[in-house]
Amino acid sequence: MKEGKCTAIILAAGQGKRMGGQVRKQFMELQGKPLLYYSLHCFQESGLIDEILLVTGKDQIEYCIKNVVERYGFSKVVKIVAGGEQRYDSVYEGLKACGDSEYVFIHDGARPFVTEEILQRGYEAARKYGTGIAGVLSKDTVKIVDGKKNVIETPLRDRVWIVQTPQIFEYNLVRCAYDRLQLFDKTGITDDAMVVEEMGNHTVHMVPGDYTNIKITTPDDLDVAAQFMQKISG
């Protein structure tokens, strides 16, 4: 059962430095549609989501309106805001643009294979625990090394999760965490859960994501994505 206004913040303000190329990766074509289309489509279709805030580069706002939002009829996109230098800056811009949301679903526009099931699991956890972040158990053994690449720890694999998005939070909790972050050193912050963890007074809860919910980061991820697409469309 759905309760409370749910806002999705979809991040598409990155520069795609690791991908390279002329076109930013969120606008690159996958089976004839921009990469960003796929995550927006999932959130647009979800009965959980009331509205979508799209965060993109200030120079890409017009492009997004015309070539993504209007072109594909994403009627839940209520605002498009300019992001910042780093991912956490873009998230903060999105959070500041939220009105009276009770839950926020923060998602990388570069993860096209997000599913309704993942949204449901994250939302249920967020209602119960205040947080629900998607992830998958590591299939590989993970080693923690020091600056000289000497292994200093091998965590038990059944405790090691590879973290994805969406990451879903009670709005007030994550907003408070991000307001606080502005006063501290942001070095090394790579996801939203970390910002909440840093507050030290709230446990972050993990929910199963999906091994296909990959982030398109480097050119080889585009090949994997094309294979997933073929599998999905039969």
Ligand X SMILES: C[C@](O)(CO)[C@H](O)COP(=O)(O)O
Please report, as ranges, the residues that interact with ligand CTP according to CB under 6 A. 11-18, 26, 55, 83-87, 89-90, 108-110, 215, 217
Direct distance between the N- and C-terminal alpha carbons of the chain, in angstroms, rounded to an integer = 32
Across-strand partners of 82?
Answer: 56
CB 126 within 8 Å of CB 132: yes
String of contacts with ligand X for each residue 117-156, x by CB under 6 A: ----------------------------------------
Nearer to ligand X, 80 or 134 (CB): 134
Structure tokens belonging to residue 229:
């697409």
Give yes or no for a contact between 83 and 56, defined as CB atoms under 8 angstroms apart.
yes
Instruction: Round to whole Å and give the CA distance between 123 and 50.
Output: 13
Residue 16 interacts, among ligand X, ligand CTP, none and using kind-specific CB cut-offs from 5 to 8 Å, with ligand CTP
Binding partner at 90 among ligand X, ligand CTP, none, C-beta below 5 to 8 Å by kind:
ligand CTP
Query: Does residue 164 touch ligand X according to CB under 6 A?
Result: yes
Q: Do the Cβ atoms of 82 and 36 come closer than 8 Å?
A: no
d(CA 216, CA 195): 23
Query: Would you tell me how many other CB atoms lie within 10 Å of the CB of residue 52?
Result: 25
202 binds ligand X (CB under 6 A): no
Binding to ligand X (CB under 6 A): which residues in 4-63? none
- Contact region with ligand X (CB under 6 A), list: 31-39, 69-77, 139-147, 159-167: 159-167
Of these, 77, 87, 103, 222, which contacts ligand X (CB under 6 A)? 87
Nearer to ligand CTP, 129 or 161 (CB): 161
